[in-house]
A and B are shown apart, each in its own frame.
Chain A
Amino acid sequence: AQSVTQPDIHITVSEGASLELRCNYSYGATPYLFWYVQSPGQGLQLLLKYFSGDTLVQGIKGFEAEFKRSQSSFNLRKPSVHWSDAAEYFCAVGWISSGSARQLTFGSGTQLTVLP
C-alpha cells in the first residue's frame, strides 16, 4: 500500500533563511509526486509535481523539489523564505486504484512558521 510520511509536524524559520521540508513515500511503482500548500481556512494549491525526467523540479513561488529514488524522498526546498510562505505544506503520492480511479495519498502536513 502507498503511504507518505512528513516527519516534521512544525518548522520555524526566519524570513530570508533557506527551507527544506521533508517527504518520504512508499509505493510499489514509479510514483507521481506532488507538493501542495494550504493557507489557513483555504483549499490546497498545487506547488509542483513530478513523474519522470529531471529529478529536480521547479514550482510556483520559487519552490523546487528533488526526487531521490534511492531514498524514496521528495523534499521541498526554497532558498529564501518570505513571510507569505507561512502555511501548511502537504506532500502527496498519486496512484491508480483497482477500479482505475486516480487517487492521491497525502502526508499529515508540515506547518511552516516564518519569523520576521
Chain B
Amino acid sequence: SQTIHQWPATLVQPVGSPLSLECTVEGTSNPNLYWYRQAAGRGLQLLFYSVGIGQISSEVPQNLSASRPQDRQFILSSKKLLLSDSGFYLCAWGGRTGRPLAKNIQYFGAGTRLSVL
C-alpha cells in the first residue's frame, strides 16, 4: 500500500534561518506531488506541485522554493525564513493511473507545524 511521510512533525525556527522540509512517498511510482500551507481558519493554499523529477510549478510567489531530486521525494526550502512563513505545511501525492476520478484524488501526509520566532 502507499504511504506518505513528512518530517519533522514540528519545527521552531528563528527569523532569517534556513528551512528544509522533506516529504517521501512509498508504494507508488511517478506520482504528482504537492506542497500546501494551511493558515488558521484559511483553508489550504497550494504552494508548489510537481509532475516529475526536476519539474516544479509555483502557485504563489514567496520566500519558499521546492525541489524534487528523486521520483518520490519532494522538498520544501527557504534560505531565510520570515515570520509570515509560520503555518502548517502539508505534502500530498496523487496517482497517474486508473480511472479519471482516481487520478484526481490526493493523499496527504500528517503535516509539519512550523513556528518562526
A interface residue numbers (CB < 8 A to B):
9, 32, 34, 36, 41-46, 49-52, 90, 94, 97, 99-104, 106-109
Are A90 and B43 touching (Cβ within 8 A)? yes
Are B113 and A41 touching (Cβ within 8 A)? yes
Decide yes or no whether B46 CB sits under 8 A from chain A.
yes
Give the dominant DSSP class at B's interface: strand
Are A108 and B103 touching (Cβ within 8 A)? no
Known interface pairs A42-B110, A43-B90, A109-B43; A99-B104 also in contact (CB < 8 Å): no
Partner of B42, one of A32, A41, A108: A108
Closest chain-A Cβ to B1's Cβ sits at a distance in Å of 14
Known interface pairs A108-B41, A108-B43; A99-B51 also in contact (CB < 8 Å): yes
Decide yes or no whether B83 CB sits under 8 A from chain A.
no
Known interface pairs A41-B113, A43-B111; A106-B101 also in contact (CB < 8 Å): no
Docked complex: B49-93 residues within 8 A CB-CB of A: 49, 51, 57, 90, 92
Known interface pairs A9-B41, A106-B44; A43-B110 also in contact (CB < 8 Å): yes
**Could you jot down 17 A-B contacts, CB within 8 Å?**
A36-B108, A41-B111, A41-B113, A43-B90, A44-B92, A44-B108, A46-B105, A46-B107, A49-B104, A90-B44, A99-B51, A101-B49, A101-B51, A101-B57, A104-B46, A104-B104, A108-B41
Q: Which residues of A lie under 8 Å from residue B57 when comparing CB positions?
A: 97, 99, 101
Q: Which residues of B lie under 8 Å from residue A42 when comparing CB positions?
A: 110-111
Known interface pairs A101-B32, A101-B51, A102-B94; A32-B43 also in contact (CB < 8 Å): no
